Structure 1
């Protein structure tokens, strides 16, 4: 029965699959939520007792204590019935925060409404939701907070105050209502956007690390294959020699002659396979050259992505007294980063991709240009940001599509697919890890231009690590 192997996937697709397998947002630890609630119960009870017994201000103590007791009971029940290390999903977390907001609103209604300075605490559940929960939950809690603020502005008991009751002018209460409502909206949107950006960058950095790990594994497997081919050559030679002697000595009518011939043929086949493995440049010879001349390293990085219809021209240019091109370490970061940029250029070039390797005593630069459509001008400032699929969809993909690693599908399908902008992000981060600086732009002919600049000192340091 033949073995069916699935086609390899790119790091972009792998990151998308990992994201789909991650738990949904809103995984708040129950222990943390209960600890915060007990702090709230203690603070509310202490404040009520201090105002009533120490300051002597009149408050509806029985109703207020009942509201605090409700919060205590809602905290005690899950603490008893559920494990402390349990994690709440998005819906459960939102319901817990909604209850906290309603309980606090009831307590504020009994103690002055928006006249009470502690009304600012209504912002807390919304802030936590924006940082930890989904957009739908945050939107619902924001609407609930605004509703509670408006109700507290209209219906509340007087603020506990010595002597006569404390009344604020209606225009001030109206302004405070508007201010709190705007604060709820602003904080929820701002915190959610910042948290979402942080999550996206974290996911993208995980994809960068995955790409680097993959490149290192490929390098390690290549070295291991070369070593195995070398070490297995001698025993296979011995097996072949003995099998050949047995074949010559056994008579033709012997039942063992066919087995000896089969053993000889299989040994020859193994030697042929090992010879092919040892001859593959990406698995053996390259790994024995850890430091290469910069133009040769560019050629090796572009080799897997060459197409007959696109010419690759590499020009070496000295900008100082040093004529020989500088040496570059053949590190996975550099090979994968340059390979990704070169693949992007080759994929979207019309006829030609030109690479200029220029060096001086201070720095080395590699400039990759193509004759394609170039980068969308409005998105040049955002190149290097992860997950900019919405912006790419407005331009139909364009030059932002940078496939990472080896993936399936036709080029047209990849252009129109669900791209997340990870290719350029991964390349930029990997090259910057090696000390380089990546710059994006368009050339005078409308094509894309990417320039990577390394200080010579950074390359010398990287080469010393090899």
Structure 2
């Protein structure tokens, strides 16, 4: 349940709360001992009983000193609870054993262990207290009480009391540990939802920025395209094949930029005169690879490992995600890149494999976090972050690993229904 209990965190506060409970126990036991001995007139062995209280006081002082300097581990906290149990056992041994009604305070130690300790140590506390209960019933000496207070417990009654204590302690440990685990899992889910909400808010801001930039860049790109067309008709340029070739390259790049801006606007929910494209899965994926190969040095291949080729709606966000992963492979030094597609039941699996440098462990541990990258340039580290969130909106997942013989593999898994065209509308 708990690792090291950090200073100032919930664990540290629990240790201080336990120390406060121990002070209350010391005060209550001291008051009870003095009342019984001096007011009621029942003679108690004051020296050993007050010595047990002194041990608890020393433990509290030591714990308060240690928690200020270093974390308290599960084993250390378990040891402090064992000291509490030992002192309580001493007090009970000297004051009647299981006939002392305060024997039920053992259950308090069981509950505290179930709340604060890991599973095995909480169950160890159940075994220890149950064993000590039985030992007190057998070994504790008779305690002399005035005649009108004295009573004798029968062996069957003591045995039944031990069984009742063990059963109660077991049920307490079982249900308290389960409740604590449920609360921890609930807190973990809430933390994950908060993280997801923060990431989605980040994506919304990025989308608004990208959409605004796309709108702003559309006009100057159109102006550049018109000027390039006018320059082509200039006599000095028309007579130069080299200049004409450069103009054609420039016009192609401007057209590509306009296509990218259209994809950005489409992905953000805005359409610039382009209807959604209906195509087949193989055409869609091979088209992404072919388009990417036209603009990059390394050659990527597409492996269609499926017998069927369903009709789908070309998802621009998914296409851009795959393109980003291909770009990442090049930046990792890959010479061979492959996009593979296959079925896993009714889910489509896409894997981008390369022979590059692979992923460091820090990237794998924080997969999907923004700006987590080994590249130094500003804005790097968004490729996997966008992939994770695009796949999330499609109901899919993203995973990454380092391949056994070098390179990396990023796997996208999504339900085909997220992009497929129903049969009745095909």
Q: Normalising to structure 1: TM-score of the pair? A: 0.51
Name the counterpart of 1:221. 206
Name the counterpart of 1:24. 3
Contact 2:211 2:265 in 1 (8 A): no
Specify every segment of 5 or more residues in structure 1 that has no aligned partner in the other structure, as ranges.
1-21, 289-295, 297-303, 314-345, 352-402, 411-422, 424-466
Rounded Cα–Cα distance in structure 2 between residues aligned with 1:205 and 1:312: 38
Contact 1:146 1:181 in 2 (8 A): yes
Name the counterpart of 1:273. 257
Alignment of 1:25-424 (within 5 A): 28-29=11-12, 30-83=15-68, 87-159=71-143, 161-163=145-147, 165-235=150-220, 269=253, 272-273=256-257, 275-280=259-264, 283-285=267-269, 309=308, 348-349=345-346, 405-408=396-399
Change in Cα spacing, 1:159 to 1:186, as seen in structure 2 (3 Å) is farther
Which protein, 1 or 2, shows the higher relative CO under an 8 Å CA cutoff with sep ≥ 6? 1
Rounded Cα–Cα distance in structure 2 between residues aligned with 1:172 and 1:47: 26
What's the secondary structure of 2:68's corresponding residue? coil
Task: Quote how far apart the aligned CAs of 1:207 are.
Answer: 3.1
Specify every segment of 5 or more residues in structure 2 that has no aligned partner in the other structure, as ranges.
277-283, 285-305, 313-342, 349-393, 402-413, 415-426
Task: Quote how far apart the aligned CAs of 1:405 are.
Answer: 3.8
Q: Which 10-residue stretch deviates more, 51-60 or 232-241? A: 232-241
CA deviations on 1:167-216 (whole Å, 9 max, x unpaired) are: 22222111111111111111111111122122223323433444444444
What's the secondary structure of 1:88's corresponding residue? coil
CA deviations on 1:32-87 (whole Å, 9 max, x unpaired) are: 22212111111111111111112111211111001111111111123234418x65
CA deviations on 1:282-310 (whole Å, 9 max, x unpaired) are: 6222599xxxxxxx9xxxxxxx9xx9949
Contact 1:115 1:159 in 2 (8 A): no
Change in Cα spacing, 1:208 to 1:60, as seen in structure 2 (3 Å) is same
Paired residue total: 283
Name the counterpart of 1:336. none
Change in Cα spacing, 1:282 to 1:246, as seen in structure 2 (3 Å) is closer
What is the aligned-residue RMSD (CA, Å)?
Answer: 4.4
Q: Normalising to structure 2: TM-score of the pair? A: 0.55
Rounded Cα–Cα distance in structure 1 between residues aligned with 2:311 and 2:165: 61
